[in-house]
Amino acid sequence: MRALTIQRQGDPVLPNIKFVSDFPSPTAGRGEVLVRTEAAALNHLDLWVGRGLPGIDLRYPAISGSDGCGVIESVGPEVDPSWIGRRVLLNAAVPKVSPLRPDLRPAPPDIFMIGEHGPGCLAEYFVAPVGNVLEVGDCDPIKAAAFGLSYLTAWRMMVVQAGLRSGMQVLITGIGGGVALAALGIARHFGCETIVTSRHQEKLELARGLGANHTVLDVGQDWSKEVRQCTKKRGVDLCVDSVGKAIHGSCIKSLARGGCFATCGATTGSDATTDLTRVFWNQLRIVGSTMGDMREFREVLALFQSGSLTPVVDQVFSAERGADAFARLEAGQQFGKLVVDWRTR
């Protein structure tokens, strides 16, 4: 099959990306479906896979990709054959089933991530448990692939973990990435007042066009005062962040009393220094979040299918030009999702 492969780990990632036409095709195992990929979107996770994020145990050359939409080609044992021919969207976060022990209290399940811990969607075919796909009917596969993981991540982060409510004031950092733009869409859906940051003025202007109420240009300064000016010195109810170390202090200082800092990533480093006095004195909450389960996936996908939430697509690439998508992602040039269209040759 055709595939975009990461030949070996390294930084930068781009030199190790290679399009091939003879990669071995997968087959569906017990409880699995084989999906003929129509569209697959990139995430920052694809760069971590290329660089060798700790805990990644893939064989190289590897296929990354955790956002895929396509048509089920075949099914494995114990899967209803009526799935064949249906267009589906993937939730790449597969819960790991741990055996119950009498001396250990149960905890939320860990996950196996398709595209990180095993082969992903940046290929002509991918395999997934039938319990991790949802039928999406006649939707646009490009938009569906662009929607999946980013909106699921933002939904769990904001609604489930942070308790987003209508009318809140919400700060979203690093606007332009998939999760940040998904967060902006969800915040607007809830009628929230939004403040977004970016290092690029053009991205702030584009965010204004999508309905962001306030914008803050990040040139390396402590921009919390600017955020507070936007809120008449009150601060925000929720800060949605995946940037991490470089801006953590500004995020914490931007929160109102009782506010919540929600993180789903740390692209600039995880060893941030925080202000515990501010945290306890202002009764702040810090919550972590990653991916989401199938119940949450159904909730947010319903808003996509009704037209209430629409992803921003930066560019669409043919599979043969997939390396160009990696180049744009690694350079941080995108505003929205980068999608590979596997239907074209």
% the chain with pLDDT above 90: 88
**Predicted pLDDT at 57:** 63
Tokens 């699995």 sit on residue: 32
Strand order through the sheet with 236-241: 214-217, 193-198, 169-172, 236-241, 255-263, 285-288
Amino acid 274 reads: T
Instruction: Say if residues 215 and 198 touch (Cβ distance below 8 Å).
Output: yes
Tokens 């480093």 sit on residue: 269
Write the CB contacts of 331 (distance below 8 Å, at least 6 apart in sequence).
none
Determine if the pTM surpasses 0.75. Answer: yes
Among candidate residues 161, 184, 172, 178, the one with its CA nearest the CA of residue 218? 172
**Predicted pLDDT at 104:** 82
Q: Rounded mean pLDDT of the chain?
A: 94
Tell me how far apart the alpha carbons of residues 230 and 225 are, in angstroms, rounded to a whole number.
Answer: 9
**Predicted pLDDT at 80:** 96
Tokens 């064989």 sit on residue: 59
| Mean pLDDT of all residues in 318-330 | 96
pLDDT by residue (tens digit) across 80-95? 999 999 999 999 999 8
Handedness of CA 277, 282, 283, 289 (dihedral sign): negative
Domains and CATH numbers, the chain: 3-149+292-341 (3.90.180.10), 163-288 (3.40.50.720)
How many residues make up the chain in this entry? 345
pLDDT by residue (tens digit) across 142-162? 999 999 999 999 999 999 999
**Predicted pLDDT at 225:** 96
Among candidate residues 30, 9, 25, 7, the one with its CA nearest the CA of residue 17? 7
**Predicted pLDDT at 331:** 93
**Predicted pLDDT at 157:** 97
pLDDT at residue 55 greater than cutoff 70: no
pLDDT tier for residue 21 given thresholds of 50, 70 and 90: very high
pLDDT tier for residue 187 given thresholds of 50, 70 and 90: very high
Euclidean distance between the first and the last CA atom of the chain, given in angstroms as a whole number: 13
| Mean pLDDT of all residues in 96-115 | 82
DSSP string, 222-290: -THHHHHHHTTTS-EEEEEE-S-GGGHHHHHHTEEEEEEEEES--TT-S-----HHHHHHTT-EEEE--
pLDDT at residue 184 greater than cutoff 70: yes
**Predicted pLDDT at 107:** 76
pLDDT tier for residue 270 given thresholds of 50, 70 and 90: confident
pLDDT by residue (tens digit) across 246-269? 999 999 999 999 999 999 988 888
